[in-house]
Structure 1
């Protein structure tokens, strides 16, 4: 990122198709807002529309969003498997009914790409370089993938080791799940992230900051490398109690 240009970044995640309660909206203007995945709850098309509405109302000229494990319909392989599994359980082909509510293959992605004219940019895994409206340049690495060993059967999951190919000079790493040992503690006091994840790469001096989500039970947290003290804030989004029939 351009060192001479001050840039305000708003980071949020796991909004799960919810909106900010009245009076809890982030009102201060940011140069860029970043959503770290799980924008939907049931990955229905209406969930994506709710997420786009939430992002559109944030006071920032540019909003970056990535997928999370809830975004099945952005992961064609996982979505196909989920449809087949549901049809098997129902003992009939209900794929057309499913797609009527959750979308055809690629339909959810199309909704996000069409939101670009609203300042919303959907990024897939890889390195991206963006020019911000304040003339700053950000080099980003993005990945929606999380390990399946902790809780499998979701979208964008991997078994074994995943290659987080973070390039030198990356300003900001945006992932759905945090690196191993950094705010990934579950209620069972276990590290949920892969021990071979990108945590070691983040200790290199040529990388900048991280932005991640996923563990909504922990609320919103801040972290600085080398600082054992993590400040916790309350989660300002109401959690949905509904689940998908898929």
Structure 2
């Protein structure tokens, strides 16, 4: 059995410029998203760092991230982080973006300069993010060494199904996450960086970080409609990571343990139409789902929901058989930072 290291992962999403000290004046401070958040070996932010991607908003988020005690901090963009998506900006130059995010930008050169400035803040070696220990992940697979001696293999993607003309969008009939061989037969495959399968990977994905949820997993909006991506569900069933974390759907905050069936890989690679997959196709790949019970009072006191899924805990993750699904949206549907971060202890491979 390969050696592992107990690793604490702090997971947040959809902070939308919220700070950790905004609740200090409340009496009593009732919201759990406040300083100090629990220390962790690894921080993950699943996107929607801002409201509309202005430079000032990015700095507000970096101010918040700076306060968190974690030696490795991984961040992806979300649909609200408009100026990090160059294609979106260029295609919306005349409109000025949602809420006029780049009001006054008149030319493609000015727009290009604005995008470069936003991306350099997060990606350049001398940009603020990197100099403060924050790693911005582009779409794809990334293997990262942690200070505690563990190594983590992550898949990251900021893309979500098109909705109200925001950034990082793809068509609902498009598959961004599977290889051509695994795509639903009536979908258009556009995957530049498909999620690797568990069965075919020398180094399986430990943590899948996406901005949006997979279909039917913590993705319900009003009238209990599933807003998640069916193609992403297919990909996660193939990859079967230890953790899949995301946000985007604020009202879906929560976590669950999914036990995959022994035939999950065959189901995830079989041929279905999108409708067949959404109605019944996926179900044979899922053996059991346990929604995690949450002590909200403890979450407020500890500034997070603490879950031990290591071999020393009462419930441990079985690689390739069990995935913790986490919707880590900090904002609720009213854009109030009312939800707690997730603090997950997990066994990761020793490097």
> What is the DSSP-based 3-state SS (H/G/I as helix, E as strand, rest coil) of the residue aligned with 2:176?
coil
**In the alignment, what sits opposite 2:283?**
none
Give 1:152's match in structure 2, choosing from 164, 174, 180: 164
Structure 2 alignment gaps of length 5 or more: 178-193, 259-287, 300-328, 337-351
Q: 1:155 to 1:171 in 2, by over 3 A?
A: same
**In the alignment, what sits opposite 1:181?**
216
Q: 1:128 to 1:236 in 2, by over 3 A?
A: closer
**In the alignment, what sits opposite 2:130?**
116
Query: How far apart are the structure 2 equivalents of 1:74 and 1:127?
Result: 19
Higher strand share: 2
Pairwise CA distance, 1:83: 2.3
Quick check: 1:73–1:108 contact (8 Å CA) kept in 2?
Answer: yes
Between structure 1 and structure 2, the one with the greater Rg is: 2
**In the alignment, what sits opposite 1:77?**
87
**In the alignment, what sits opposite 2:151?**
137
Pairwise CA distance, 1:224: 1.0
Query: How far apart are the structure 1 equivalents of 2:226 and 2:141?
Result: 26
Query: How far apart are the structure 2 equivalents of 1:33 and 1:221?
Result: 18
Q: 1:82 to 1:240 in 2, by over 3 A?
A: farther
Query: How far apart are the structure 2 equivalents of 1:46 and 1:227?
Result: 41
> What is the DSSP-based 3-state SS (H/G/I as helix, E as strand, rest coil) of the residue aligned with 1:58?
coil
Pairwise CA distance, 1:68: 0.2
**In the alignment, what sits opposite 2:4?**
4
Quick check: 1:125–1:144 contact (8 Å CA) kept in 2?
Answer: yes
Quick check: 2:17–2:51 contact (8 Å CA) kept in 1?
Answer: yes
Structure-to-structure mapping, 1:189-200, within 5 angstroms: 189-195=224-230, 197-200=231-234
Deviates more, 1:137-146 or 1:75-84: 75-84
Q: 1:101 to 1:156 in 2, by over 3 A?
A: closer
Count of residue pairs the alignment pairs up:
231
TM-score (norm 1): 0.83
Q: Does residue 163 in structure 1 map to residue 183 in structure 2?
A: no
